[in-house]
Structure 1
Amino acid sequence: MEYPNKKHTGSKSQDNLAAQPDKSENLPEGFNIQCSPEALVRINAEGRHTSYSENLFPVLQMKPTNIVGKNLNEAGYLGSISEDVKQAINLVLVSGQPFSKEFSLQLDNRPNWLSISIYPEPDSKGQTVGVTLIIRNITPQKDLQRQFTERVKRYSLAVEASDFGIWDWEVDSEDMYLSRKWKAQLGYYPDELDNRYSTWMDLIHPDDYNRVKRSFHNFLKSSSLIFESEFRLKHKDGIYRWFKTRAAATRDEHGYANRVLGTNRDITTEKKHQEDLRMLHQAIMQSPVPIVITDLEGYIEFFNPAFCKITGYKKEELVGKKTNIQKSGYHPQSFYQNLWDTITSGNEWVGEFKNRNKNGRVYWELASISSLKDEHGIITNYIKISEEITSFKRLEEDLKRSQKRTRIENQSRNSFMANMSHEIRTPINGIIGFSELLKSGDLTPDQQLRYVDIIEESSRYLLLLIDDIIDISKIEANELKVKKDACSLKATFKELAEQFREMKTDKQKDHIEIRFRKPKLKHHDFIFTDTRRLKQILFNLFDNALKYTESGYVEIGYQLMNQNKIQFYVEDTGMGIPKENLKTIFNRTLRHAHSLKEREGGAGLGLAISDGLVKLLGGSMNVKSAPNKGSIFYFTIPYDKISAPAKAPQKSAKSDYNFEGCTILIAEDVDYNYEYLFEILKETKATVLWAKDGIDALNLYGKNEIDLVLMDIQMPEIDGYEATRTIRQSNEKIPIIAQTAYAMSDEHQKCLDAGCNEVLSKPIKMKALLDTLAKYLK
């Protein structure tokens, strides 16, 4: 071994010896160059290297070179720090005290750190004759320290920039580190809250306290790696905010946590968003409005129960399917192309779909389809919100049909009113015109008689027309009442046969054959129905058939359908009815919209009245016809059998109308109406008194012995109702016969309720008047 005071020869063996100096008492205790990662260098008082360890250059990561006998600058292995180390060596030589320092230098253009410790080497007399340098390359440690520092810095910056508050708790201690951010989250400055475990616990909401404390203590005793919990902490402003804490623990050999490090994150906004999202999701799922979300290609990704309900598909049947499973085939491809062009451009599409569900039911829906975009404005999905409008579409179609029908009806009504005006004015023209001719004195008896006949015929026609108008008005107002009684089929058809023959002659159609048909099998003759209305129906049907038949026959008959139904019919060989007119043949206004009205003549009310009367009798009417093949009108009513009534006594002949000794009071404010009644009663030898209004009627009644009152209902001063009620207060037995022109309501019943015994409708026929009076005057 070479000692520091011996000269180094520079040989390889000497170098090896130089690398193994004896232990110096001034070196660190236990230092052994053989096993040390540090390099050892000895320098004498003159500043020249006397020896160095073999690992010097490997430690410095340099190419080996011989440095014995050279000073630091000449050796060069310390580079830029050579002067600094040289000064340190001189300081140790002078002071005799060790010196240590870390130096930074560039080695092979690489940053390096060296830890250099300088120890004095004294001689036997205690004089410092040299120094020993222990050199350690601490670059790796410095790199680690630098990396750690950088990581700590990055971590600190990340923590400051993040939403996390940091807390660190030594479990056996009350002390708990609470970061500046942790406190700032609650609105506090760092010095306003103590770093203690109790600080955290005291801020927890009372409703969350037990839950959090229990779960946290369970975590401390468990083997769980992570602790997570959500709770509320009280903010400085007094409002509780939601936080989520997440922590990990180090544990002792028994598994009990001895240190816990965690983070706090304010999730108040998230909680609000979650609650809003939950409410929105619940609203969507409970909404009766179908909602569906698809991807960009139309594949279904989300839907609510209402969508399943309207489409008829189950949840598992819809996932992964396209919305085109709803197509009904109603819309053209251009319709869907327009839809896709609209939504792919980011615009909202609103329109109506006619779709088909799983079971094949076709339905209408009003839909709004729009795009869903991400935070960058890129379309990610499409959403459709729809509402079924099938019922509205049906109402819309009904409204269109109703509007069309109303338009047709208005046109028909105008046509009907024009026809009515013509039909009414025609007989009036005959009445007025021939009445004026009668006033002239240059007429022969035959001419006078002819003109009277025309006036009478025109009056009868006008009366029939008015009756038809009244009947159809009552039918449409549901005010026409039927009076069912015993009706003899045999007698009815016998009476109709006589009328029909007269009609045939009047219409100059004697060449038309009239046929009557009835069942060959014996059957019950009397049925319970309204005889008058049954005759009216058959009369109208016959009149209509005769009108359009120019050759051939008209057949009237009936047949038993079963024990409960009887069918009547009128068949002709006339011109027939076009198919398009059959549906409206019984509508008194719509039939005027067709060309049929131009061939009819007359008011055209007969069929409408007959159809209404059949319904009132409990039946229904139908028609079969074709152009040039004739027609058959048939109706079915209940076959309600009834016993034959007792025969009524024969009415008196005109010569038996002798009311001599009887006083009749006529209350009538219209002069010519009174004159008509007076002329009829003149031949009965009755005494007739005339009251021109209600007050006059009561005065005459009070001053005379009256046997019967003919009471007009519509009179000035006091009407017939009040006059009748006044008379009834003093005399309940005197016959009061109402005469009225009212026909649009239950006028007859009102008259009876006022106290009248019977009601005669104007115009009053002579025979009907005399027969009625004969019932009460003895």
Structure 2
Amino acid sequence: MNVIVQAWRRVPTVSAKFLLILVPVLVATTLVSASLFFYGRQQQLRGALHGRIAAMAEVNASALAPLLWAFDATGVRNVVQAIAVNREVLCVEVSDDLADSRYVWPPPGCPAGSALAVERRPIRTQAQPIGSIALHYSNATVWEQIRQEALNTLWLIALMLACTVLAALGAQRWTIGRPLRRLVAAIEEAERTHAPRPVSWASADELGRVIRAYNAMLARLDAEEAALRRSEERLSLAITATRSSVWDYHLRTGDYWWSREFPALLGYSPDELPMTTATWESLLHPDDAERVIRGSRRRVRDTATSYTAVYRMRRRDGRWAWIEDRSTALRGAGGTALRLTGTMSDATERVQAELDLARERNVLQITLDNTDQGIMMVDRDLRVVMSNRRAAELLNIWPEFLAGNPSFADVVELQRGAGAFDEVGDDPDLHLAGLAEDGTGLEGNAPGRLDQPFAFKRRRPDGTIVELRTNPLPEGGFVRTVTDVTVEARSAESIFEAMQALEVAYADLKETQASLVQAEKMASLALLVAGVAHEINTPVGIAFGCASHLTAKTQDLAAAFESGTMKKSDLTAYVAAAGEASRLIQQNLTRAAELIQSFKRVAVDQTSEERRRFDLLSYLEEIITSLGPTLRKSPHRIALACSPGVTLDSYPGAFSQVVTNLIMNALTHAFPDHAFPDGTRGHIVIDVNELPDDELAIRFADDGVGIPEENLPKVFEPFFTTRRGTGGSGLGLHIVFNLVTQSLGGRIGVDSRAGDGTTFTLRIPKTAPTITGEAATPDAAAPDPANPDCADPDCADPDSAGQAPAITEGTAA
């Protein structure tokens, strides 16, 4: 193989190499193509010959069938002679099974075991075999035809190959040879004159691109040479500016060289220091000399390529300068260092800063070790880089273990072995340790990066509770503080238990309050029932008396009619009495129906939280009417001042409860029996005024005994009462306060002085706010209680517009 490669390289021209490749390829390709073609042609001719012989055998088998059946030997021989005329057939055999004879041409018979092909067909008459015919033929004619065609084709192929080679050689010389000659000439001229110039050739093919690339390379080399000169200038300036120098040391020859900046680093002039190894060693600090020289000699034997060393050298003024020496080793084939090249720079300020930083770190560590709070810093790779003794103590691990900069996963594993996570299985530290084990870390783009600080508490097996606060660092990792919060945590647990007990007590209080509110509602309903019984009694009694009177009159008239003594005057008197009785019955039953409708509406409102639109004046009158029996038992009176047509879209049940509680509170507390021994009347005034912003001001004023000043701040508190021993629950005004501020969406205040009466002032909106959980919007078109046939508040009595507020006084019947 090497011989072939060497011979190929010795070919003098590209054209010769081109021909050495092209001609064999063309010849081989042509021969393969011709072989495939003639093989296919030979198969085609053989198939055609076989088809002809097969057809001849079929036709002659049909022709011989009647001859064999008729035992016509002469006819059979004639057919055999006719078949033998074909030059492809070399032998014919016909067997007659009926006569047990054979007919063969040529007479000697077909050669046995010859290489001739045979086509055999049975001879049948009426589907019964009576003999057979066999035609023996040869493929010699096929091969003769193939040979003639191959000779003609070879001459044509030879002519085509010659023309192709000549055309390809001419194309190669025109497209490749000329530009290559120009390129070679330009390169040889550049080698002679050392002044390369571009090649003048323009073409879009590969050689054109090569020549353009060569010209571009020449331009780039010129630019790079200029840039290199500028870079050398900049490097010289940078070395001078950074107080650095370049040096080079040949290990075999012992030649030492350094740039002129090295003596300047130590305060010497360029000619004061000889460029020798002894000079460099003499400037080393005695404490660093052995270490530095030994390290320099070791570079010859090891396999590293770059080195860094920091040591002290003596300046001209006797002081010591810290030098940072960076070098690179050039090694031979066996790995032995042949040459060392590097830079030396003045690192005095940096080393001094590092020494100062180390001292400050030492002071910081001492300070941290004396703090009562544990502190630990973890880098982005989840490795502990700083901690104090208090952190090791609170985490229940050895200080020496943390001082060895272990991974965070090792710290967690050590704590796990001590049982730190037995009580809490999902401790955040287990997640952070998992990030360390799978190699994710807390890098800037890692999913495990801490974005926000977090804190949690952990109970140690000995009962100590520590709080761990973790704050992420900008470059990754985190700082953790560990604080003993056992005392605070136990105090918090005590407070939590107290709060739980308070919540239970508050829930019991709410349940009791709800029960009392329900009891108050039932008491109001009882008052309503009493009012219904009393108010309906009078019209029903009158109607019953009139009906009894009319019944007696009817019986008298019927008796007179039956006895025949009835007079015209009796009938006239009966008609007059019946008309008057019917009028009184209708009038009083209508009054009873109106009272029942009014009481029914108030009762429904007091036992439900339905929201609807209602007329304020009519509804207040209904409430006062429902309290009639209670009011009639006392000498005190209620006056109502409210303009007609004032409507509210609110909760009438809550409003009824407020009015009832305020009236009953006044009757119970404002007018005690001992304050009115002679039956003097007390007065309660309900005054309604419309305010801007669609609000109402409702004043409940009485001229009773008033409220002592020290009790005023407590009147709305639950269970505050001055009549604890006489049945007072202390929830009446508390219920009023809740209903006004929550259900009605308003405010309530009280103003009183001892002996000068009490005034409760309500400010409520005409449209109450929607209570959370309300099923549907209130019906704005609810019937007006004062006019059941009117569904629109605007259809109130037009005569009531502009009238003064109606004054209604509740008295005993």
How would you bin the TM-score normalised by the shorter chain?
under 0.3
Which is strand-richer, 1 or 2?
1
Which is helix-richer, 1 or 2?
2
